[in-house]
Amino acid sequence: MTQTILITGGGSGIGRATARAFHAAGWRVALMGRRRAALDETADGADMLILPADVGNPDDVDQAFARIAQDWGRLDVLFNNAGISAKAAPIDEIPVEDWLRLCQVNITGMFLCARAAFGLMRRQKPQGGRIINNGSISAHAPRPGSAPYTTSKHAVTGLTKTLALDGRPFDIACGQIDIGNALTEMAAAFPNGVPQADGTIRAEPVMDVDDVARAVLHMAGLPLSANIPFLTIMARDMPFVGRG
């Protein structure tokens, strides 16, 4: 039976690279995102299930998963990937609106999609599946001025641990991939210089986003009797491990 995956945030960056990697590996791929045109661009004529939806909108999420159940009958993997960032600033300079907007996507959106996937995987026969949450290096160490984003990624870690526990009776595995400096639009400025913990601005190395896609494909391809709870993939020389 052909394996099925839903990728949220499928219209760009890591979501786009992952969708193309899974399709090339023979998976049936569904794409969720707010912009239909961007999802179509990811598919680039390939047979992917396009699901325009806002991950932070409960009705949108329910409709998207109902479509998957209707068209495919099951879902083997959710790559819970959609996320946004906020402009770096001290916490007292961050507009409350920016905080709420980020949490609606990075926390509520993750919860809603995980909730819907868990329910579908629990009901389908054979029962079970896998949820892979997109965390971040920020789930371990913050960047300066990143309170909303870093908080959200710590929340994702809590969601991952809970789902990994609660999914056991239903053959549902859950893991998290923490990514550092994959070259996407979000990381485009890194080679030119970004603020460091010591107050300086320095260039940081980046890695090919296709390396991330291959890592997700590896996690997804494991039998449900095995799980990678946390996988960290990063540009080798980025300032995460070490001092000074």
3-class DSSP string for 91-132: HHHCCHHHHHHHHHHHHHHHHHHHHHHHHHHHHCCCCCEEEE
* Strands laid side by side in the 230-234 sheet: 49-52, 28-33, 4-8, 77-80, 129-134, 172-180, 230-234
Q: How many CA atoms lie within 13 A of 229 on its CB side?
A: 11
pLDDT for 204: 87
Residue 65: its pLDDT value, please? 98
* 3 state DSSP class of 240: coil
Task: Please tell me which residue in 149, 190, 212, 220 is annotated as part of the active site.
Answer: 149
Spatial separation of the C-alpha atoms in residues 238 and 214, rounded to whole Å: 20
Mean pLDDT over each residue of the chain, to the nearest integer: 95
Known catalytic membership, residue 149: yes
Tokens representing 205? Answer: 């190395």
Which range (18-27, 103-112, 185-194, 219-228) has the least confidence?
A: 185-194
Q: Tens of pLDDT along 36-79?
A: 999 999 999 999 999 999 999 999 999 999 999 999 999 999 99
Tens of pLDDT, residue by residue over 110-145, are 999 999 999 999 999 999 999 999 999 999 999 999
Average the pLDDT over 203-231 and give the result: 96
| Pair type for strands 194-195 and 201-202 | antiparallel
Nearest-Å Rg of the Cα atoms of the chain is: 17
Tokens for 154, please give them: 């710590």
Nearest-CA neighbor of 34 among 52, 49, 50? 52
Say yes or no to pLDDT of 170 above 90.
yes
